[in-house]
Amino acid sequence: MVGAAMHHREFDDDVASAPSSRDLTALEALAADLTAMDYTVDGVGSLLGGPAYSALGRDQLAPALLVARRLLRHDDGPDDDRNGGVGDPRAVPVLLWLLGEDVAEDDIRAAFPGLGVAGLEVLRLIEPAPGDAHQEPGDAYQEPDDVHQEPGDAGEILAPRSWRAAVELRPYASDVGGNLWVASDLGSEQRPGPLRHDHVLGIGGASLTLAQTVMRTPVERALDLGTGSGIQAFHLLPHARHVTLTDISERALAFARFNLLLNAPALGLDPRRPGERVSLRQGSLLEPVEGERFDLVVSNPPFVITPRTGEPAESYTYRDGGLAGDAIVATLVRELPGILTPGGAAQLLGNWEITEGTEWERRIRGFVPPGVDAWIIQREQLTPVQYAETWLRDAAENRDRDAYLASFAAYLADFASREVEGIGFGSVWLRRPHGPRDLVRVTLEEITHEIEQPVGPHLAAAVGRGDWLAEHTEQAASGVGVADEFLLVADDVTEERHQRPGAEHPGVILLRQGAGLRRTTLLSTELAGFVSACDGDLTAGQIAGALAMLLDRPDAAFTSELLLDVEQLIREGFLIPAP
């Protein structure tokens, strides 16, 4: 979340509408109870079973709800004496935080023996179910036995008989931090109705895409711009000495702070001195870090294009940056290089508009400032109609027919006002060169097929090959270039040939990658011959010279053009320098 401009400040406030992270003892008790119940991705999958768990991943709650209710029901078999007649306690967090169900207080008490019902309420993770009496929590966490009153006690304020989730608390299997938990706002599946305008998004497709895309190079200082619930910071902490998290929304920063402190041991944080590794700032765009420099910036910004003409659709801070069209992405692409250290990089996701009669590359290339390395990959392109469908459904705005039609019309009118015929989605990598003499390269490509995940290591390897080629390109003027290098075919590359029945030679020769970006490239006969000879025994120049003789093409232009094609195969990862 980025949003409109405002003065920034270091954030450590307690926000009433977000989970509380003030009581570290309660957080430790919560983590212990969740661990004891194996409330992890694998644990929940095992509890619900494959079909129900898979359906849950598709936002189909019914199968998981049937399983979890059966596990907790008292009339579905003999009670478990160890739980005082309560069903399987492992179903409690699933019912509460993944399925949005009301849960009886006795069941919650059995599932959370360390934290208790009062502790969960103090952390603002549960709230009384509608219609129940409410007992205000104390100012600080107390052991459950100290705060619970048995029915009939004199002066008693009755505690609720049942409770529901105040937020979502979802297990997360991170490739860098082990088993973690992420608090965010409940979605429309768990709590029907349109989302609140300051909704804090949890683990979504875009956040996972960015986490899988970021190149995990060790750095001193990293910035998570528009952090939301803090997912990117989870992945940054293992390879960044210090991470700064910014957001326009105080609720988002409160969620992020809660998530960092709840998962502090796994993330390498001292919960009593978090400032040694993380800093949370409230503010818009780059204003909270004015005058600072970072080695790495990552951002899943509010890039969704929201109507600014006619009857506007509801604004949601987690996705709406407050600017017309694709200006939020254009602004970040232009300004992020200014806060990078020499050699520093930025990676972000975004949407960009494609106007009638133009190619998608034209517009976004214009965002990139001079003297900056850039690699932009378009992964998807939607029509205005498809785009409106996607984002109105995202916020559950398709339930009121009249409001839905008005919002849909606003989207189409807004795009028409700028002659937009398509909206692209993809990733942007930017790098500030070390010095003014460094070669700068801007690459734009469209990759819509499935790629290997996480793709970040493959992107980093591609950047390394590009730097290696840049060094050799500088030498090309002296007649060296890649001619003196020994090359190998990458391990994941296969060759595919097609020819008409009875034909003497193949009409189509393809190279395919089985890993990384999984590119496919078409080869000429001479380039196919070159690749087949790349076993590390001959230099690129020797192979090119042999082909020139074999094909009776002794002119220098043939060799030069062939080696240019070879450079592109190296850049794309089909060929690699021999060690």
pLDDT tens-digit profile of 404-417?
888 899 999 999 99
Choice among 20-34, 152-166, 523-537 with the minimum mean pLDDT: 152-166
Average pLDDT over residues 84-88: 64
pLDDT score for 398: 59
CATH class of the 470-577 domain in this structure: alpha beta
In 3D space, the residue among 124, 138, 132, 211 whose CA is nearest the CA of residue 169 turns out to be: 124
pLDDT digits 0-9 by tens, 52-64: 999 999 989 999 9
pLDDT score for 149: 43
Q: Selecting from 1.20.140.10, 3.20.20.370, 3.40.190.10, 3.40.50.150, what CATH number does the domain 170-465 have?
A: 3.40.50.150
- 3-state SS assignment for residue 424: strand
DSSP conformation letters of 226-283: T-TTSHHHHHHGGGEEEEEEEES-HHHHHHHHHHHHHTHHHHT--TTSGGGTEEEEE-
In 3D space, the residue among 203, 152, 164 whose CA is nearest the CA of residue 182 turns out to be: 203
pLDDT digits 0-9 by tens, 214-223: 999 999 999 9
pLDDT score for 135: 47
Q: What is the pTM of this model?
A: 0.88
Quote the tokens at residue 31.
């983590």
Query: CB-based contacts of 431: which residues, under 8 Å, 6+ apart?
Result: 337, 340, 343, 344, 345, 346, 372, 373, 374, 463
- The answer to whether residues 361 and 430 touch, using CB atoms and an 8 Å cutoff, is no
- The answer to whether residues 326 and 352 touch, using CB atoms and an 8 Å cutoff, is yes
pLDDT digits 0-9 by tens, 465-490: 999 998 887 655 555 679 999 999 99
pLDDT digits 0-9 by tens, 311-320: 444 567 777 7
Q: Which amino acid is at 478?
A: S
pLDDT digits 0-9 by tens, 87-117: 899 999 999 999 999 999 999 999 999 999 9
507: left (phi over 0), alpha (psi -120 to 50) or beta: alpha
pLDDT digits 0-9 by tens, 247-271: 999 999 999 999 999 999 999 999 9
Q: 188-205 burial, b if ≥16 CB within 10 A, otherwise e? A: bebeeebbbebbbbbbbe
Residue spans per domain, the chain: 20-166, 170-465, 470-577
DSSP for residue 416: H
Average pLDDT over residues 274-278: 96
pLDDT score for 436: 77
